[in-house]
Amino acid sequence: MHIVIMGCGRVGATLARALEKRGHSVAVIDIVADAFRRLGPEFQGKTVKGVGFDRDVLIRAGIEQADGFAAVSSGDNSNILAARVVRETFQVSNVVARIYDQGRAEVYERLGIPSVATVRWAADQVLRKLLPGGSEPQWRDPSGAVQLLEMHVDTAWVGTRLSDMEVAARAKIPFISRFGTGMVPNDRTVFQDGDLVYIAVENDQVNAVEDVLGAPPVEH
């Protein structure tokens, strides 16, 4: 995959190095050339000086061939403008924007642009949204028998009650994250686009749960 990142602060640099370690092609855009020093001498990707919502700058960064775009600069307006340009002009659907203002984040989530709040693990959250699939362990009990996983859920489940998803997966969903806020579901809670689902499973259940929730629901 080729990923374009706008912003080479701590989050952008961490994200770029993590993507490159996973074997992906990376281009980083920043208006300040000195910011690229954060990438370190081992970084092999492309660096482009310029404004991240400028079309020519994006083209130099390879946006026309990109599989994903992350706007993680220090400005909400720049991030959301860049995200919209990339989606609407270059038709890249896999876009994530870092938003400091939680109120704005909720609006952009509803517009279909996943956002990540300015939190300590922001780089990990962006990485998870850019590279969905499977599950990511968040906690293990001391015996190692049970895990709490952040689970990738196929978008075809949108509109399904979480209680029905629990039945299908034969596992418990203790909580979800919606618009950056934790939420304990009840019997009427419905899975929405952009929700992060956390599921408690025994070790030998992990593959089966990934297979069920990572694919569209089976019609009976």
Residue 117 to residue 189: CA distance in whole angstroms: 23
Nearest residue to 38 via CA among 62, 66, 15, 72: 15
Q: What's 190's DSSP letter?
A: B
pLDDT of residue 10: 86
pLDDT of residue 8: 95
Query: Residue 120, exposed/middle/buried by CB under 10 A (0-12, 13-18, 19+)?
Result: exposed
Q: What is the pTM of this model?
A: 0.60
Nearest residue to 79 via CA among 95, 97, 96: 97
Domain annotation for the chain: domains and CATH numbers: 2-130 (3.40.50.720), 135-213 (3.30.70.1450)
pLDDT digits (tens, 9 = 90+) for 43-69: 999 999 999 999 999 999 999 999 999
Overall average pLDDT of the 174-201 stretch: 89
Overall average pLDDT of the 92-103 stretch: 80
Residue 39 clears pLDDT 80, i.e. is over it: yes
pLDDT of residue 103: 65
The full DSSP string for 59-103 is HHTTGGG-SEEEE-SS-HHHHHHHHHHHHHHS----EEEE-S-HH
Per DSSP, what are the bridge partners of residue 115?
97
Residue 188 to residue 177: CA distance in whole angstroms: 16
Overall average pLDDT of the 115-123 stretch: 56
Mean of all residue pLDDT scores within the chain: 86
